[in-house]
Structure 1
Amino acid sequence: MTEMLRLLEKDARYTPAELATMLGKREEAVREDIAACENDNIILGYGAVIDWERTTEDQVTALIQVKIAPQRNDGYDRIAERIYQFDEVECVYLMSGSYDLAVILTEKSLKEISRFVYAKLAPIEGVTSTATHFIMKKYKDKNRIFSPVVEQEERPLYI
């Protein structure tokens, strides 16, 4: 089953028939394995990796380092749960090192990310400090290499 999961993680567009051929299994067995993984919350969803630089949509992605005071009996979990409930939050990770949680979110502007930090994140009881880092360029994400966008060179117009 691990090999099937790795294949789906690499490309979720594989059909059960294609997976069956690659794995040397019956198609019905692959369908059952996929259904079991979905029911057991091993497969949590399917999605596309989008290169937003190639669209007209403006986006800003931030990685926010969050220091928190662990809660009695809950440790970091209760605060992490409060943070991941916000719709704009894409990822929350418990980290080792100089901060406790890494929060990743994408918004349309720096102002919206700033508003999230000061209006939603910082006021949470137990959050002691934050440090926001903006992603300037993506080179690789979810095993996908982002091709550079070839920008037109601006040339001065001489009359």
Structure 2
Amino acid sequence: MTPPAKRLKTFLALSLLLNIFLVGGLGGGLYQWFARHPATAVGPQHGMRVAMTELPQTKRHQLRQLLRLTRVDNQPLIAQGREARVDVAKQLQAPTLDRPALDAAMAKARDADVSLRARVDATLADFAGTLSPDERIKWAVAMQRHPAAKAPPTGSAAVVGDE
């Protein structure tokens, strides 16, 4: 074997070993990352999302589609609420607090949120009308078993900074 060919083979062998080492390190790092950060990083599931699991697959799909359509149809209302919350943040960051403007922005955000919630509730009521009595019972039991996120406790202990 000639010296340049031997050097080339040595270089290729070292390159292959280095690449195997790097791929192994990357694979091990990814494994460790996903072991510590599972795919359910959304947080604890509760309320409607868990209650939906009690429905048959076709009904779950139908409900998701209806909720998606409701979201698409109400984009202007969602945007109004978002803009109002941005306005609230701007009012709070202002050097001087303009209380009437802050109250108006908060009322606008609240009105948008309440209107959107009413439309989502109407969609859920319409969907419930398509379920059989047995499916409605299962869905209701699941919603009772997995209620929406609980509100913080009331009282002086719940107020931040009162300690």
TM score, norm. by length of structure 1: 0.27
Which entry has the higher C-alpha Rg, 1 or 2? 2
Quick one: higher RCO (CA 8 Å, sep 6+), 1 or 2? Answer: 2
Higher strand share: 1
TM score, norm. by length of structure 2: 0.27
Higher helix share: 2
